[in-house]
Amino acid sequence: MQKIRLFSQYDPDALILKTRKEVQDQVGQWPEEYLSSEKLGEHVDALKQRHEMFLPDIDFANGRAVMIERIYPLSVYQPGSKPDVKVRVNVLIYKYPFKAQTYLLGCRPPVPVPDCEGEWYADQINQEIYLEYPQYDKRPKKTIIAHNNYIAQLQPCYVALQDEARRFNAGLDSMIEEAVLQRRNDIDHMKRLLSMLS
């Protein structure tokens, strides 16, 4: 299990810029025969498929609640306590199944992201993300109310990020066309230089 920062890890514009650079670099390495009309569609489709962005399908409103017991240092619950004293506590966990990669869930959406009292984890093997509330034992009712409020505000973030991914995918064709045109121009320029030298 890996700790994640949901909707706050990185800027989607930076991811788009990185993807644009990767597309340009990959097309820039294509040999001339890739640009022939019969092979171009095949290579463009493969490149597009590799770089399309799809958010995992997650329904935040229907998480499965699970209560587990964990051992934490007492100092987590009572600041100033001895750090070597451990206590058993009940931890409330909400599990959300998903399909696909979770890295896009780290992008900041163009809407305000609510603060979370819990901690997010991703389990790629079981294809689930978890929201853990280690403070549940201290204030169970407040934790559940805070969770419900948080989840209600989280769904619009997810929808906004899906819209961003759709916009990116809609512009991916033109991004690839631009890179192919640049590659053709580079090849033509090299041919002219070589013909001038001979």
User: What is the per-residue pLDDT for 180?
Assistant: 92
For residues 108 and 175, give the distance between their C-alpha atoms in angstroms, rounded to a whole number: 22
How many CB atoms are closer than 10 A to CB 102?
20
Q: What is the pLDDT of residues 111-166, one digit of tens each?
A: 999 999 899 999 988 899 999 998 898 889 999 999 999 999 998 999 999 999 99
**What confidence tens digit (pLDDT) does each residue in 16-66 have?**
899 999 999 999 999 888 888 788 889 999 999 999 998 888 888 889 999
Cα–Cα distances in Å, from 56 out to 11, 12, 106, 158? 18, 16, 12, 10
Handedness of CA 69, 98, 57, 157 (dihedral sign): positive
What is the Cα 146 distance to its own chain's centre? 24
Cα distances (angstroms) measured from residue 24 to each of 28, 41, 102, 168, 176: 6, 16, 25, 16, 8
Higher-scoring residue by pLDDT: 122, 198: 122
pLDDT digits (tens, 9 = 90+) for 60-116: 888 999 999 988 888 777 788 887 888 888 999 999 998 877 888 889 999 999 999
132 contacts 92 by C-beta, under 8 angstroms: yes
Kindly give the residue spans of alpha helices, DSSP state H, lying in the chain.
Answer: 12-28, 37-51, 74-77, 140-197
Q: Where are the domains of the chain?
A: 2-197
Give pLDDT, residue 66: 95
- Could you give the CA distance from residue 3 to residue 131 in angstroms, rounded to a whole number? 10
Which whole-number Å values give the CA distances from 177 to 23, 82, 133, in the listed order? Answer: 10, 63, 47
In this structure, how many other beta carbons lie within 10 angstroms of the beta carbon of residue 133? Answer: 23
Please tell me the distance from the alpha carbon of residue 140 to that of residue 142, in angstroms, as a whole number.
Answer: 6
pLDDT attached to residue 162: 92
User: What band does 176 get if pLDDT is binned at 50, 70 and 90?
Assistant: very high
